[in-house]
Amino acid sequence: MGWYITLGIIILLAILPLGVSVKYDADGPLVKLIAGPIRVTLFPRPKKKQKKEKLQKPRSEKPKKEKPAKQKPQKQSAKHAVGGTAGKDAKPDKKKGGSITDFLPLVKTVLDFLGDFRRKLRVNVLELKLIMAADDPCDLAINYGRAWTAVGNLMPQLERVFVIKKRDIQVECDFTERETKVIARLDLTITLGRLLAAVFAFAFRALVQFVKIMNKRKGGAVK
Residue 170, pLDDT score: 92
Distance in angstroms (rounded) separating the CA atoms of residues 40 and 20: 9
Residue 173, pLDDT score: 87
Query: Which of 73 and 26 is assigned the larger pLDDT?
Result: 26
Tell me which residue of 61, 58, 106, 82 sits closest to 213, measured CA to CA. Answer: 106
Per-residue pLDDT of 4-33, as tens digits, reads: 778 777 888 788 899 999 999 888 899 999
HSE-up (13 A, CA, CB side) for residue 200: 6
Residue 51's pLDDT band, with cuts at 50, 70 and 90, is very low
Per-residue pLDDT of 127-172, as tens digits, reads: 999 888 877 888 888 888 999 999 889 888 888 888 889 999 999 8
**Backbone phi, psi, residue 206, to 5°:** -65, -40
HSE-up (13 A, CA, CB side) for residue 99: 7
Give the three-class secondary structure for 34: strand
Length of the chain, please?
Answer: 223
Distance in angstroms (rounded) separating the CA atoms of residues 163 and 154: 14
Give the three-class secondary structure for 132: strand
Residue 108, pLDDT score: 81
